[in-house]
Amino acid sequence: MATLTIKGLSKRYGKTPAVEDFDLHVEDKEFVVLVGPSGCGKTTVLNSVAGLFDIDEGEIWFGDELVNAPARKVFKIPQKREVAMVFQDYAIYPHMTVFGNIAFPLSIRRTSKQEIETRVGKAARLLEIDHLLDRKPKALSGGQRQRIALGRAMVRNPKIFLLDEPLANLDAKLRVHARMELKKLQQELGVTTIFVTHDQVEAMTMGDRIAVMNNGRLEQIGTPSELYTEPANTFVAKFIGSPPMNLMEGSLVASDRGPRIDLGFSPSPHVLSPSLVERIRGAGITEITLGIRPEHITIGREHLENSVEATVEYAELTGKEVNVYLDLGGEPLIAISGSGQDLEKDERVWITLDSRRIHLFDRTSGRRIE
Amino acid sequence: MSLLKPNRWLLYALLIFFAFLALLPLWSCVVTALKSSKEVILSTPVTPPMYPTLGPLAQALEYLKRPLLNSLVLVGAGTIVSSFFGSILGYVFSKRKIRGCGVGFVLIVLCLYIPPQVQLIPMVRVMSNLGLHGNLGALVLLYMVFGIPMCAFIFKTLYDEIPDSYTNAAKVDGAGTWTIYRRIILPLSVIPFVVASLLQVTIIWNDYIWGLVLTTGMDNLPVTVAMANLKGSFVAEWNLQMSGALWIAVPTLVIFILLGKYIIRGYSGK
């Protein structure tokens, strides 16, 4: 088993940078999810680790073995890297049976026939596809194909698993199930894994740690709860969580009762406690972005201290909760309320922001203010 | 019953007329081949034979036996060798993407556009220097080499449809370039092989000019050239010529009717 270290990875396609100065360390047996919007460079990172191309700058280490470093002219070809990869389209060879597909990595290594049968059989039983071994993949479902691809990846005991959006082609219900199974499988096999997805729910539910990428750069890496409770910048704040965090722009202004935060809507509320104002002043910033998660907004029918008036635009029942789209002095705001509350369009309500759960960001850099 | 609009009627009338025009030579060829020499002189080329006979067909076959065999050898060798090399080139151009690959591919495709007339004299000299001039070997070599660019083009365009993830997955699983070709690409190449072979077969079978300039002696002639000799020196034996033409046209005709959709794939690259 192995750790994986990426230092200062850069890769350009022509003149367009795909990944810039990317650092990542993955512990042995850890499950790390690379998440970000499409085109953010996450698949490029995965392909670099697999060795499908030489990187432009940086170093990639498997444990204490250097596998790619253009500065030192080191490039280990993918065939020798002992990684296994599952592709988004699964890359199941249509002319081979399921058995042939899973056995492929072993048969090109000239493993003995008996050994191949034992190992393919074991993998197939674990993935519950042992009854399909003689079939051609053409007639199989998305879920079954995904298992074949996983089987092919695990059958040769690789050092590192690379999974490129393996759940994207499954239907919604199967995806939730596969998510759980894949996580369980990874724990059983104990293989260091990098999982790429654009779906933040997948990332949150599966990853031991999550690396959020945007525009070829690493925005933040941390455990799911770290990313959720302490997003390092506005991008992560907006990307992680569904519905996303509300972000409002505000400025530090002086008033006759001391400095306060003007959030642009009137009458300006006292939502920001003096300690928060102090935090902003301490950081020497006047232009801020205030973030609040939908579940930290309370909707009431009566005016309370610190509450502000808003209009209900639309209420969306998701099951046990209702996503309420509000208009707060021209600013859109999403809140989550219990399904017991009946809210109608254009209804005037009073909302309270939980001041302990407010996130503050520097508006110019987007960075979190601690 | 639905009534067709007038312009539809016009369209169908035109289509039937053109189909009739296109089929007229074939009709004429078949009826003339079935007539005796006397009847050919006494009737028009399109009237059906009054006393049908297989004599001219048998006579023409006897004469064209050896050239037909020669053409079969040419087609076989040319098709197998050039589609094999075309397949390897197509794999390299489509999946290996070595530096300068794009330029190489353009150069190879450009070879398709050099007219044979330009190459006639140099080719005769090259073949004489190789000691192959007049020999069937000259044609075998020529078709093998000249078929490669077109085959490479067909294989490349059809291999582009095989997802790159197949080759990438095989690479990560430990397969080298040759293993990927043999285990993944080649088994998925049935359609490109059919398409390339069909085009090669029809091109080589129908070719006339290279056979004319590069071979001599009845034993070495391809069938198209031998056919031209059937025309007779003093009297035009139309029934014999038409019989010969039928023997030559039938194989390609059958191929076009049965496997035409693959040929269209080859031309359209889809």
Mean pLDDT for A234-251 is 90
pLDDT at residue B268, rounded to an integer = 62
Instruction: State which of B53, B69, B84 marks the end of a domain.
Output: B53
Residue partners of B3: CB distance under 8 A and separation at least 6: none
Percentage of chain A modeled with pLDDT above 90: 48
Residue partners of A113: CB distance under 8 A and separation at least 6: none
Using CB atoms, pick whichever of A51, A79, A162 lies closest to residue B176: A79
Looking at per-residue confidence, does A49 or A126 come out higher? A49
Closest among B182, B189, B239 to B57, alpha carbons compared: B239
- Tell me the chain B residues in contact with residue A95 when contact means C-beta distances shorter than 8 Å: 187-188
Chosen from A49, A79, A148, A159 to mutate, greatest number of chain B CBs within 10 A: A79
Residue-range definition of the domain harbouring residue B130:
56-268
pLDDT at residue A72, rounded to an integer = 92
Instruction: Name the minimum distance, in Å, from the CA of A102 to any CA of chain B.
Output: 10
Cα–Cα distance between A301 and A350 in angstroms, integer?
A: 6
**Are B34 and B84 members of one domain?**
no
**Are B121 and B251 members of one domain?**
yes
Instruction: State which of B37, B53, B69 marks the end of a domain.
Output: B53
**Are B264 and B136 members of one domain?**
yes
One-letter amino acid for residue B213 of the chain: V
Place A318 in a pLDDT band, splitting at 50, 70 and 90. Answer: confident
Cα–Cα distance between A219 and A253 in angstroms, integer?
A: 30
Low-confidence ranges of chain B (pLDDT < 50): 1, 270
Domains, in order of start, for chain A = 4-239 (3.40.50.300), 246-362 (2.40.50.140)
- Structure-token match 């048969």, residue found: A107
Q: Is A265 a residue whose pLDDT tops 70?
A: no
- The domain tally of chain B equals 2
**Are B122 and B74 members of one domain?**
yes
Q: Is A55 a residue whose pLDDT tops 90?
A: yes
**CB contact B163 to A (< 8 Å):** yes
Tokens of B168: 């990438």
**Are B40 and B95 members of one domain?**
no
Terminal-residue alpha carbon distance, chain A: 38
Cβ contact A95–B188 (<8 Å): yes
Closest among A200, A145, A202, A142 to A171, alpha carbons compared: A142
**Are B162 and B199 members of one domain?**
yes
Q: Is A150 a residue whose pLDDT tops 70?
A: yes
Residue partners of B177: CB distance under 8 A and separation at least 6: B96
Taking residue A175's Cβ as centre, other Cβ atoms within 10 Å add up to 18
- What digits encode the pLDDT tens for the residues A64-88? 999 999 999 999 999 999 899 999 8
Q: Is A280 a residue whose pLDDT tops 90?
A: no
Q: Is A266 a residue whose pLDDT tops 60?
A: no
Round the average pLDDT of chain A to a whole number and report it. 88
CATH assignment of the domain containing B256 = 1.10.3720.10
pLDDT at residue A9, rounded to an integer = 94
- What digits encode the pLDDT tens for the residues A169-204? 888 888 888 888 889 889 988 999 999 999 999 999
- State the number of CA atoms in the 13 A half-sphere of A129 facing the CB: 28
Q: Is residue A361 a contact partner of residue A233, using CB atoms and an 8 Å limit? A: yes
Instruction: Name the minimum distance, in Å, from the CA of B87 to any CA of chain A.
Output: 18
**Are B6 and B114 members of one domain?**
no
Cα–Cα distance between A236 and A211 in angstroms, integer?
A: 10
- Tell me the chain A residues in contact with residue B188 when contact means C-beta distances shorter than 8 Å: 93-95
Cβ contact B188–A94 (<8 Å): yes
Interface TM-score (ipTM) > 0.90: no
Q: Is A4 a residue whose pLDDT tops 90?
A: yes
Tokens of A122: 């074991």
β-pairing, A287-292 vs A258-262, is unpaired
**Are B229 and B186 members of one domain?**
yes
> Where are the strands (E) in A89-216, listed by range?
160-164, 192-197, 209-214
**Are B40 and B64 members of one domain?**
no
Give ∠ CA A139-A142-A146 in degrees, rounded to 5.
Answer: 110
Chosen from B172, B183, B190, B193 to mutate, greatest number of chain A CBs within 10 A: B172
Cα–Cα distance between B207 and B74 in angstroms, integer?
A: 11
pLDDT at residue A271, rounded to an integer = 53
**Are B144 and B155 members of one domain?**
yes
Q: Is residue A362 helix, strand or coil?
A: strand
Q: Is residue A18 a contact partner of residue A12, using CB atoms and an 8 Å limit? A: yes
Q: Which residues in A have their CB inside 8 Å of a CB on B?
A: 47, 50-52, 77-81, 83-85, 87-91, 93-96, 104-105, 108-109, 152, 156, 162
- Tell me the chain B residues in contact with residue A47 when contact means C-beta distances shorter than 8 Å: 168
**Are B146 and B193 members of one domain?**
yes
Tokens of B155: 């294989």
Q: Is A281 a residue whose pLDDT tops 70?
A: yes
Residue partners of A174: CB distance under 8 A and separation at least 6: A142, A143
pLDDT at residue A120, rounded to an integer = 92
The answer, yes or no, to whether the previous bond of A244 is cis (omega within 30 of 0) is no
Q: Is residue A179 a contact partner of residue A148, using CB atoms and an 8 Å limit? A: no
- What digits encode the pLDDT tens for the residues B68-99? 888 888 999 999 999 999 999 999 999 887 77
Distances (CA, A) of A145 to A90, A149, A177, A348, B5: 7, 6, 15, 52, 52
One-letter amino acid for residue B259 of the chain: L
Place A129 in a pLDDT band, splitting at 50, 70 and 90. Answer: confident
pLDDT at residue B232, rounded to an integer = 65
Looking at per-residue confidence, does B148 or A272 come out higher? B148
Q: Is A270 a residue whose pLDDT tops 70?
A: no
**Are B247 and B125 members of one domain?**
yes
